[in-house]
Chains A and B, each alone.
Chain A
Amino acid sequence: MSAMTSASTEVSEIDSSARGPISLLLAFALVWLVVSGALALLHFAQTLNPAFLADCAWLTYGRLRGLQETAFVYGWAGNAGVAIAVWLLGRLGGAALRSLNWLTVGALFWNLGVLLGLIGIARGDGSSTPFLRVPEYVQLLLLVAYAAMAIPGILAWTGRGRAQTFAAQWYAVAALFLFPWFFAAAQIVLVHFPVRGVVQAIGAVWYAQSLWNLWLASLALAAAYYLVPKLTGRVLPGYDFAAYGFWTLILVGGWIGGRHLVGGPVPAWVATIGIVSCQVLVFHYLIVAINLRGAFTGRGSTALSLVAYGVTAYLLGGLVDAVVSLRAIAVTTQFTWVTQAQTALALYGAFSLIAFGVIYFLVPRIANQPWPSAPLVRAHYAAALLGTGGLVLGLAVAGVIQGRGLLEAGLSFADIAARTRPWILVAAAGQAVLLAGNLVFLFHFARLLVKKPAVTAAELLRQPPTMEASVS
């Protein structure tokens, strides 16, 4: 694979020391990714044919939506994000990771929690709160397991070898540190001591928005800020502004959830503050665009190309958010597939593509051997781009058609469903391509893990850890 042969290849003790736990996290992540893809496909099948599996109480339409979302966010994104964050904090900290047993134990319990959560949702113990659907009895387990997983990352930050820090570290530490914070806060106000009436709905959108901006987006940005200078070999342009971009996201990120409640039974300021914050956040996207524009000029590396597409999706998502949040647009797009398209653009486009890129980069380094097959990499690459594009495009167009249909009071829901059907089929096809690509990825990763290292590139390509800092 091209990323392997590029000049930046190097392996240090930092990577080999973390081999076991990080491989474990990534293996879990990829399995959940495939599981959530399969569930998402079933969900599309039910959208197209409501009678499909309708007799199965474990897989009602609503529960399937919760299942695929939970498997994706907590299974795939949680595992992969923590693995990436801990790995790059180790590298940028310039010392071997410590307390990795916490990562292993935490990962085992976290994934046990995800599994129990999915079973709980299927059984009917979950709730309809978006992104917080796991049953109450799993939430505390997930919280504690996550805190354990974050320990090596935080230790690598506090015990780092040099005083100077990098944007990749800020984002990674913020994600590791803040997730338990707002996960716990959301559990308290939504589950243990539920607030009254519609304040629950406000708390739910606050949680969902923090989950994206302060956790998953931060993890993806940490990876992008690490990988882009690394693979292009150039200093990030306008890097002095990176700190403003970072603090804008951290400060404003939690505020924009209220835009989903436009026209809802909440005080108008809740929605207004969300809309305004959405516009303020454009400043953050601008800085990210300036900093990471090098990603678009680099050539030849699959990892860099995936990151470039992921960053594009991230920026596009931000601009779409800013436009769609406006009341004049929201009146049409609210409650439609457009919302799902935005979620898909963020989760499948921005997060997953960047995560794929960084996984292609990091696995050869921790496993100390190259990816076994270049065609498999290309197949997954093509499937990821094509599938994500089809999924987002299909959902977005279906959403606009649905939104316009909803405004025509005389149009029945069956008619709206008939009009959106072709585009739902496009989205479902995209999801199927994604699933096929991710199966290839899982297979490829498994093959790399079980294969005996033929080349130990480490001894040949060893470079001092200080190399990590010099380019970012």
Chain B
Amino acid sequence: MRNGFLFFIGLFCAAALSWAGVVLWPHLQMGSLVPYVDETEGKAYPLRLSGIAAQGQMVYDDLGCAACHTQQVRRPGFGSDKERGWGDRQTVARDYIYETHVQLGDSRLGPDLANVGGRKTPYDAEDLYKLLYAGSGAMPAYKFLFEQRSIADRQPSDYALALRGNLAPAPGTEVVPTMRARALVTYLLSLNHTFEYPEARPVEPTAENEGEAK
């Protein structure tokens, strides 16, 4: 290492090599993935996010929802993702091509959300608003995404939450989701990776691939 110039070249090349191998290569492999056109339905999947859902993804990103929720389903047989009802197939690269900021997440303190909009027992907007407003056992309430306001001299909002019991707002007031809450809920409901791409057909664990699937 007496030759300082060669040393710097070596460092530079080592870093460049890992960048090329880990980032550039997958980019060349997957960076130009195109939607899959389903001839029978006449639609191309995945569907693009609507404008408000794209805003919702920004809310999801900046609130740090990914600290507790992943958005990736592992293949049946690898973990219990399918048994927990998070999705019948594994998520594949094509599912994410339209997402401006992919939120795979690395921690599961709460359920996976990759298919939250397409579950068999679907959440509707009302459920998600209530969950965000009141929280649940392990999830904090995000009350700052809602506005409590008087309805003394105005028409009640169409979006007002129907809250009962001890959550019900004081008489003469209503709880209305803010624009951010509405964007977030629209985004969550748009998460639905159930279309079966050719590359996403589930591999059911059999006797032969049991060992590999572990």
Interface residues of A (CB under 8 A from B): 46-47, 50-51, 54-57, 60-66, 124-128, 130, 157-158, 163-165, 170, 173-174, 177-178, 181-182, 185, 189, 194-203, 206, 210, 214, 243, 247, 250-251, 253-255, 257-258, 260-261, 263-267, 270, 273, 327-328, 331, 334-336, 339-340, 402, 406-409, 413-414, 417
Q: Can you list 8 A-B contacts with CB-CB less than 8 angstroms, sorted by A residue number?
A: A46-B140, A51-B135, A62-B64, A197-B30, A197-B33, A199-B26, A202-B26, A266-B93
Q: Does B27 contact A (CB under 8 A)?
A: yes
Q: Does B154 contact A (CB under 8 A)?
A: no
**Is A201's CB under 8 angstroms from B102's CB?**
yes
Q: Does B151 contact A (CB under 8 A)?
A: no
Closest to B96 in A: A197
Find chain B residues with CB under 8 A from A334 CB.
79
With A124-B63, A178-B11, A263-B75 known to touch, is A202 a contact of B22 (CB < 8 Å)?
yes
Interface of A, secondary structure class, is helix
Q: Which of A60, A158, A185, A247 lies in contact with B142, CB distance below 8 A?
A: A60
Q: Which of B1-60 contact A (CB under 8 A)?
A: 1-2, 4, 7-8, 10-12, 14-15, 17-19, 21-23, 26-27, 29-33
| Distance A54 CA – B138 CA, assembled complex (angstroms) | 12
Find chain B residues with CB under 8 A from A174 CB.
11
With A163-B2, A265-B91 known to touch, is A413 a contact of B102 (CB < 8 Å)?
no
With A198-B93, A198-B96 known to touch, is A413 a contact of B111 (CB < 8 Å)?
yes
**Is A54's CB under 8 angstroms from B143's CB?**
yes
Find chain A residues with CB under 8 A from B94 CB.
197
**Is B80's CB under 8 angstroms from A409's CB?**
yes
Find chain B residues with CB under 8 A from A57 CB.
144
**Is A263's CB under 8 angstroms from B90's CB?**
yes
Q: Which of B102-141 contact A (CB under 8 A)?
A: 102-111, 135-141
**Is B142's CB under 8 angstroms from A331's CB?**
no
Min Cβ gap A326→B in Å is: 10
| Distance A264 CA – B102 CA, assembled complex (angstroms) | 12
Find chain B residues with CB under 8 A from A328 CB.
214
Interface of B, secondary structure class, is loop
Q: Which of A51, A206, A402 lies in contact with B22, CB distance below 8 A?
A: A206
Find chain B residues with CB under 8 A from A189 CB.
23, 27
Min Cβ gap A460→B in Å is: 36
Q: Which of B17, B31, B67, B91 lies in contact with A128, CB distance below 8 A?
A: B67
Min Cβ gap B94→A in Å is: 8
| Distance A206 CA – B83 CA, assembled complex (angstroms) | 31
| Distance A132 CA – B92 CA, assembled complex (angstroms) | 24
Q: Does B204 contact A (CB under 8 A)?
A: no
Min Cβ gap A17→B in Å is: 23
Q: Does B164 contact A (CB under 8 A)?
A: no
When A and B form their complex, which 8 residue pairs have the shortest distance between CB atoms, in order from nearest? A62-B64, A254-B18, A409-B83, A62-B67, A54-B140, A414-B137, A263-B74, A124-B62
With A170-B1, A198-B96, A339-B107 known to touch, is A61 a contact of B19 (CB < 8 Å)?
no
Q: Does B190 contact A (CB under 8 A)?
A: no
With A202-B23, A270-B26, A328-B214 known to touch, is A128 a contact of B103 (CB < 8 Å)?
yes
Q: Which of B65, B95, B108, B109 lies in contact with A265, CB distance below 8 A?
A: B95
With A54-B135, A255-B18, A263-B74 known to touch, is A408 a contact of B80 (CB < 8 Å)?
yes
Min Cβ gap B85→A in Å is: 8
**Is B101's CB under 8 angstroms from A127's CB?**
yes
Find chain A residues with CB under 8 A from B15 CB.
178, 181-182, 210, 214, 250, 254
Q: Does B78 contact A (CB under 8 A)?
A: yes
Find chain A residues with CB under 8 A from B97 CB.
196-197
Min Cβ gap A335→B in Å is: 4
| Distance A198 CA – B66 CA, assembled complex (angstroms) | 15
Min Cβ gap A261→B in Å is: 8
Min Cβ gap B46→A in Å is: 10
**Is A264's CB under 8 angstroms from B104's CB?**
yes
Q: Does B61 contact A (CB under 8 A)?
A: yes
Find chain A residues with CB under 8 A from B107 CB.
335-336, 339-340
**Is A196's CB under 8 angstroms from B30's CB?**
yes
Find chain B residues with CB under 8 A from A210 CB.
15, 18
Find chain A residues with CB under 8 A from B137 CB.
413-414, 417
**Is B27's CB under 8 angstroms from A199's CB?**
yes
Min Cβ gap B23→A in Å is: 5
Min Cβ gap A289→B in Å is: 22
Find chain A residues with CB under 8 A from B10 CB.
247, 250
| Distance A125 CA – B61 CA, assembled complex (angstroms) | 9
**Is B80's CB under 8 angstroms from A61's CB?**
no
| Distance A199 CA – B90 CA, assembled complex (angstroms) | 17
**Is A50's CB under 8 angstroms from B140's CB?**
yes
With A54-B141, A177-B11, A331-B214 known to touch, is A406 a contact of B108 (CB < 8 Å)?
yes
| Distance A417 CA – B108 CA, assembled complex (angstroms) | 11
Find chain B residues with CB under 8 A from A203 CB.
22-23
**Is A407's CB under 8 angstroms from B18's CB?**
no
